Amino acid sequence: MATTTTGASEKDQAAGAGSTTPPPRAGVAPIRPRPTRGPAIVRFYRSAVGKKWVMAVTGIVLMGFVLAHMIGNLKLYLSKEEINLYGEALRNMPGPLLPRTVLLWTIRIVLILAFVFHIHSAAGLTLINRRARPPADRYQSKRDYIAADYASRTMRWTGIIILAFLVFHLMDLTWGNANSQFVRGDPYNNLVISFRRVPVAIAYSFAMVALAFHLYHGTWSMFQSMGLTNPRYNALRRRFAQGFALVILVGNLSFPIAVQLHAVEPECPHTIPTTEPCAKTS
């Protein structure tokens, strides 16, 4: 009996050795991908790769706006008429081709959508990363925390600071309900009078530091999210991220500093029209 059993076992082993398909494991259910529905673009956005691409593309749009906004505000140093004419030109672009403010509002809607999708994709990626990590790895060691880049560890908080600042900034210089001396169509005096308030100047400066950290890490990781990464160019990517964040920081910080140092003063506030030179009184 023992010889027969051994022989059968050897035959089974030989048959198993010659087979290319391993025997099924009892009690293990096959892993099947979760079915997805909806258009291809929606399915792509639901994936981690899609959210990274959306974050990168919307980040580029918002970076362009931040740079253009800072360059336009530099007209503050030219004259009251220059920056007010600039504001009026934004409302009138592209001249007689479209009704007044139509193109401006189109740009605003694009920026709002970019901002919303940027936040939504960031939140979605955070949830995906948390679910993908096993419970034992959800807590970093002290060494890992120190080794992590400071800007990357503060992305969530700098994003919250920027969002809160944006709401106040719109109330202060666009809608006017946070500035008792606000005059529509007079961006020069609105900005100068607002920055003469020390708490506003400090809050604006703090928000610009948070924006610089956010831009630095966002610009650095943007290329990686889009798959445009190469070890040979990592140093160049980092210098570009540092340079872009530094340019935005220095340019935007100069406005409250110049006002607080009285290098820029109000000129004929509450006068209409605001795009013409002030009538200087001797």
Dihedral (CA of 210, 115, 223, 156) sign: positive
34: left (phi over 0), alpha (psi -120 to 50) or beta: beta
Q: How confident is the model at residue 161 (pLDDT cuts 50, 70, 90)?
A: very high
Give the phi and the psi of residue 181 in degrees, each rounded to 5: -110, 20
Report pLDDT digits (tens) over 79-131: 899 999 999 999 999 988 999 999 999 999 999 999 999 999 888 887 887 77
> So what's the pLDDT on residue 145?
40
Report pLDDT digits (tens) over 231-268: 787 888 889 999 999 999 999 999 999 999 999 999 88
Residue 143 has pLDDT above 90, yes or no: no
What single letter denotes the amino acid at residue 90?
A: L
Residue 4 has pLDDT above 60, yes or no: no
Sort 21 into a burial class: Cβ within 10 Å, 0-12 / 13-18 / 19+.
Answer: exposed
Rounded Cα distance, 79 and 268, in Å: 12
**Window from 47-51, 137-141, 189-193 with minimum mean pLDDT:** 137-141
Rounded Cα distance, 147 and 151, in Å: 12
Q: Return the HEC string of 190-228.
A: HHHHHHCCHHHHHHHHHHHHHHHHHHHHHHHHHHHHCCC
Report the mean per-residue pLDDT for the chain. 81
Q: How confident is the model at residue 42 (pLDDT cuts 50, 70, 90)?
A: confident
